[in-house]
Amino acid sequence: MEENIFQPDYMKILKALRSIGHLPHDAIRDIVDNGFDANATEVSVYFNEKAKSARAKERKELLSVYIVDNGDGMTRYELAKSLVPADTGRDRNIQNDLGKFGIGLLASGLSFANKIEIITKGMNGYLYTSLSYSEKLQTRNPVNEVREATPEEVALIKPYLKQNPSGTMVIISEIDRLPATRQTVVDLRQRTTFAISRGYYHLKGKAIVKIDGNPVQYYDPLERSQAMEVSREYKIPILKDAYGNTLVNEYVTVVMSMIRPRDSKLVSREFPKLQNPSQQSQGFSIVRNGRELCWGQTFDMWTPSQPQNQFRGEIRYSGKYLDEYLFDVSVTKDRVQILDKSVWDKINEYRTAFFTDVVEPKYEDQRTKNRYARAVVKASKASTGSSTTTTAKPKPVVYHNPIVTRLLAINTSDTTPNQALQILMELKDEAQKFESKTGQTATI
């Protein structure tokens, strides 16, 4: 039998992974996933930076990112596989794991940097491996050396492991592919914190993440405790798997909310720019095995527009039976497709009813109240205008303004939109009569 000599080109695979489209904050979150898949209870992320110059301390340069976990550590075999394209260092437990694809660490690291290093402490002691993209370009050698860690490498990881008997440190350095922004490092830290805070909301109490030593406060994307309204949880039973086998207690869970507007005093948001209602943030979050994969998904059920900005939905499922059967997740985990039309129809039915019964009426009610509030302010300013004089004149007769008096007496919380419009019409008539009678604008 003739030997198959057609093998994938190693460097083409690396180049493809490097340009896979992973955003840096999502890439870091993917590496954090690996720690929890290794039974860690805590994962820490450190951004190591320096000022570009002594005169521009606010313009920081990111030197490296450390991701450290207190999980099981890696064996020599697992470490050898960890930086191999389209492979993973571990056997995946698809019922509980957070990492959907085995290319996560390699693709995530190379998406924004040139070099990945791993120091681990497990049953084989302290071990080390690394991959440099620029070095691979020169050598084209697909083999990554796995060796015992040097004393310097052991000294680097030890303070981060503290008293834990095992764990792993991933070092991302020679960072050369960060999107340029006004404050690149500040923006990356904030977006990473936000992605983790919402991504692990359903794992709070089980998974602790720290950014530069500070625990991340988990954020509920549906803002259930502060929302204007939250739907009940709908459960769509899944009776068969992809092979026709009977499933028991397997569901797709759907819940929806209408969050409060951006200027509401009844809600507190740590990252308002990222959390406030918008056309980008409206839509469904997809939660697999307790970890949010992505958000802002519409599944072509509606066209995003301002009236739906406050809509948030959540679709939860287990990956054991439903991956690639009911749901297709992109490699970068930023897009999900629903493959089963009956499931799509059911979710859209719940969504349509929530739009009709909650989102649209409350949005119109908010608009009416806002128009009324603006009209009241405008009328108040018009009726209390002032004039200036440059020469002494007889003091004019001062009239008490009945319009302003009536405005101040209105209880807006008990006034319906129809009543508000009627009051405004009456105030307009009174203003015309008052001006005709007095010939001037009176003060209170």
State which CATH number among 3.20.20.70, 3.40.50.720, 3.30.70.980, 3.30.565.10 fits the domain covering 10-215. 3.30.565.10
What mean pLDDT is predicted for residues 5-18? 78
**pLDDT of residue 68 exceeding 60:** yes
pLDDT band at residue 442 using 50, 70 and 90 as cut-offs: very low
Q: Rounded mean pLDDT of 213-218?
A: 96
> Which tokens hold the place of 34?
């690996």
Instruction: Identify the weakest region by mean pLDDT among 11-15, 82-86, 430-434.
Output: 430-434
Q: Lowest-confidence range among 229-243, 293-307, 402-416?
A: 402-416
pLDDT over 70 at 77, yes or no: yes
pLDDT in tens, 55-66: 555 557 899 999
Residue 88: its pLDDT value, please? 52
Mean pLDDT, the chain, rounded, equals 86
pTM of the predicted protein model: 0.79
* CA-to-CA separations, 208 to 24, 34, 191, 219, in angstroms, rounded: 20, 13, 17, 13
Looking only at the bridges linking them, the beta strands covering 311-317 and 283-288 are parallel
Does pLDDT of 102 surpass 50?
Answer: no
Which of the four pLDDT bands, split at 50, 70 and 90, describes residue 1? very low
Give the tens place of pLDDT for each residue, 156-205. 999 999 999 999 999 999 999 998 888 889 999 999 999 999 999 999 98
**Structural domain boundaries in the chain:** 10-215, 229-360, 384-438
Which of 405 and 106 is assigned the larger pLDDT? 106
Closest CA relative to residue 241, chosen from 329, 334, 340? 340
Q: What is the DSSP string of 389-439?
A: -SS--PPPPPPP-HHHHHHHH--GGG--HHHHHHHHHHHHHHHHHHHHHHS
Q: How confident is the model at residue 216 (pLDDT cuts 50, 70, 90)?
A: very high
